[in-house]
Amino acid sequence: MVPLSWYLVLSAVLFTLGAVGLFVKRNIISIFMCIELMLNAVNLSLVAFSSFLKHLDGQLFVFMVMVVAAAEAGVGLALIISVFRNRESVDIDKLNLLKM
Amino acid sequence: MEKVLFLILAGISVAAAINVIFQRNTLYSAFSLIAVFGCLAALYVMLQAQLIAALQIIVYAGAIMVLFVFVIMLLNIRQEEEQKDRYHLYYLSLPIGVLLALEVYYGLSNIQDVSVPGAAVGNAESLGQGLFSTYLLPFEVTSILILLAIVGAVVLARKERDIPLEMLDALEAEQAKNKQSGKSEGKENN
Amino acid sequence: MTLEMFVEWAIKMAVIFFLVLTADAYVVLLERRLLGFIQMRLGPNRVGPFGLLQPLADGLKFIFKEDIVPLEADKVLYVLAPMIALVPALMTFSVIPFGDKITLFGREIHFHITSVNVGLLVVFALTSLGVYGVALAGWSSNSKYSLMGGLRSSAQMISYELALTLSVIGPVLFAGSLDLVEIVKYQTDRWFGIIPKWNIFLQPIGFLIFLTAAIAETNRVPFDLPEAETELVAGFHTEYSSMKFAMFFIAEYTNMITASAMASLLYLGGWDGPGVSSFPILGPIYFALKVFFFLFLYIWLRGTLPRFRYDQLMKFGWKFLIPVALANVVFVALLALLLF
């Protein structure tokens, strides 16, 4: 049997990688993918807790997270498309119209 | 046996996650991310959460990432355009990442492995029972959220609004001129 | 896991793998012969009696063709794409049951590799991965026809997957399970002792939606926009040759067989038929016949129908099929409420 802490460590590592990517990437789509990665890392720990505590609530939370992620992806990608149409770029450093 | 399997899956998923970050080619990042999702689904099966595992593949790999890949292909983002990633931020992000990892390690070092007797198999019946009793209200709220997302996506991705404002007047004048030719704008599918 | 179980699994996997690949080869031959018949010509009949050895010749030809990789192609993804298309297509057969169980050498042998309590979802998960093969092939070939084909295909497969998923809610509601074996077992009951409880009788609309969406998911005529020859040369696999092309080909036909198998499992009672309860060995035969019927339907449609235009396809999927599928869900739910 794999101990619970292993799952949590993996989850933490993935979350950290997602967070690093969020800072480092400039492409909106990549940033978006890093957010998905972080959400998934959280899902992993929720499922692990649910399995080890023999309580299904954790998996229900994962279900909700998935719904939110799906909604987020739909709206987010629509936003990216409309930004790309206007700016011809998905580079967030070039999307600084409000700054000027 | 299970530990070996876990280590293999964890190794693949971490390697793929690193590749998501350091990969220049957006499409390659997307596929690495799909690999991460696949490994996580396998881990969910190991955790007796079959329904969530299947949903993970269907929703993340089968729907969300298809959308990502579709958008990457649609916008034709070959490389991250003459891309210099924000290297100065590596210096910032790596310490922050290490700090976060240390914090997590500290948090984890205090917990013990628990194992409650009993069985909790995440199949459709047991999860459905939870969703439609205790969590009925959140469940309904998510359906509204999805509806809002659909409407939002349609509104945002409509083609009529893709013209910068300063160009709008010029374009309208031109359109009035060409009105006779009756160019109909192509419908947008999303 | 005992050694016996392991051996049983290995044998089952080998047999099913072999059966599926052979079926693929002969469905291709059947398609060519039937299309020939429909179009008043002969079709391939030179190799062996009635052309029965034609698949062998085709296979040899595929192997010995030159394997061309376009200069500007994205090499990694280009090689990966056919594999991504083929592997999930073959993996679906791990959860598809072919029959009930028989007792052989004192062991209970089930006619499926494994039974998962979310079997239906597993099939959907794996088939939904198939779109990546097509999309990647389109992207990595660095050719405009391929890219158009790949784009069309991903849009089409996302759109029709919704209707497909909505249509299977009916059988799931009736059987009260996502396990494919349970869904078939529900249908093996009889009304008044004669009429089988096949889902097609109570949910004809759901069945038609499933069939239509499944044809669109497998990119077959009249929904074969991703490879529309007349406008896109060959769509996403324009640049592919040799075994890589063969892998796409096998994946397409395997998907056809999967869709046919799912249609018969969900709506036509799977391995159910007269005499199965006393002779369970008949089950796989009935199942094969039902699958064959759907495969015949696929080929028949290809010989009969013209191709949709792209906007017609999208309009049909979003503005007709999905609303009807939603209405069907409500209808089936009411039916289930009244019947049980």
| Alpha carbon C240 to its chain's center | 22
Contacts with A65 from chain B: Cβ below 8 Å: none
Structural domain includes residue C31: no
CB B189 within 8 A of CB C158: no
Structural domain includes residue C43: no
Structural domain includes residue B86: no
CB C243 within 8 A of CB C62: yes
C109: enclosing H helix or E strand: strand C107-110
pLDDT of amino acid B188: 41
pLDDT digits (tens, 9 = 90+) for C49-104: 877 888 888 888 888 888 777 777 777 888 888 888 888 888 888 888 887 777 77
* Residue C316 to residue C306: CA distance in whole angstroms: 15
* Residue C262 to residue C207: CA distance in whole angstroms: 11
The tally of domains found in chain B comes to: 2
Task: Return the exposure string of C307-336: e unless at least 16 CB atoms fall within 10 Å of the residue's CB, then b.
Answer: bbebeebbebbbeebbebbeebbebbeeee
In this predicted structure, the answer to whether residue A93 has a pLDDT above a threshold of 80 is no
Structural domain includes residue B107: no
Structural domain includes residue B30: yes
Structural domain includes residue B101: no
Other CB atoms closer than 10 Å to residue C104's CB: what's the count? 10
Same domain, B59 and B128: no
Structural domain includes residue C132: yes
Q: Which residue range(s) make up the domain with A62?
A: 27-88
Q: Which residue range(s) make up the domain with B12?
A: 1-80
pLDDT of chain B, 190 residues: tens digit per residue = 788 888 898 899 989 988 888 877 888 888 889 989 989 998 988 888 888 888 888 888 888 888 888 888 777 766 555 455 556 666 776 777 778 778 877 776 776 666 666 666 667 777 888 888 888 888 889 889 989 988 888 888 776 545 555 566 666 677 677 665 544 444 444 4
CB A56 within 8 A of CB A50: yes
Structural domain includes residue A8: no
Structural domain includes residue B94: no
Contact between B93 and A20 using a beta-carbon 8 Å cutoff: yes
Q: Which residue range(s) make up the domain with C243?
A: 65-339
DSSP label at residue C190:
E
Please identify, among B15, B46, B80, the residue that sits at the C-terminal boundary of a domain. Answer: B80
Rounded to two decimals, the pTM is 0.82
- More confident call, A66 vs B128: A66
* Residue C313 to residue C129: CA distance in whole angstroms: 21
Whether C169 has its CB under 8 Å from any CB of chain B: the answer is no
Structural domain includes residue B85: no
Contacts with A10 from chain B: Cβ below 8 Å: 10, 13-14, 43
Chains with ≥3 CB–CB distances under 8 Å to C: B
Contacts with B124 from chain C: Cβ below 8 Å: 117-118, 177-178
Chains with ≥3 CB–CB distances under 8 Å to A: B
Helices within chain C (DSSP H only):
3-38, 54-64, 75-91, 119-140, 144-167, 169-175, 180-187, 199-202, 204-217, 229-232, 242-267, 282-304, 310-315, 322-339
- Distances in Å between the Cα of B76 and the Cα atoms of B15, B62, C254 are 26, 21, 31
Contact between B66 and C116 using a beta-carbon 8 Å cutoff: no
Q: Dihedral of the CA atoms B51, B56, B57, B60 (nearest 10)?
A: 150
ipTM score of complex: 0.87
Structural domain includes residue B170: yes
Contacts with B40 from chain A: Cβ below 8 Å: 40, 43-44
Structural domain includes residue A97: no
Mean pLDDT of C292-318: 85
pLDDT digits (tens, 9 = 90+) for A76-90: 888 888 888 777 777
Residue of B nearest to A88 (CA): B75
Task: Return the exposure string of B33-48: e unless at least 16 CB atoms fall within 10 Å of the residue's CB, then b.
Answer: bbbbbbbbbbbbebbb
Residue C195's DSSP bridge partners are C191
* Residue C16 to residue C32: CA distance in whole angstroms: 24
The tally of domains found in chain C comes to: 1
pLDDT > 90: what percent of chain C? 1
Nearest to B122 among A12, A36, A59 (CB): A59
Contact between A16 and B101 using a beta-carbon 8 Å cutoff: yes
Structural domain includes residue A13: no
B82: tokens are 């003459």
Contact between C314 and B189 using a beta-carbon 8 Å cutoff: yes
- Distances in Å between the Cα of C296 and the Cα atoms of C35, C58, C228 are 11, 21, 21
Structural domain includes residue C201: yes
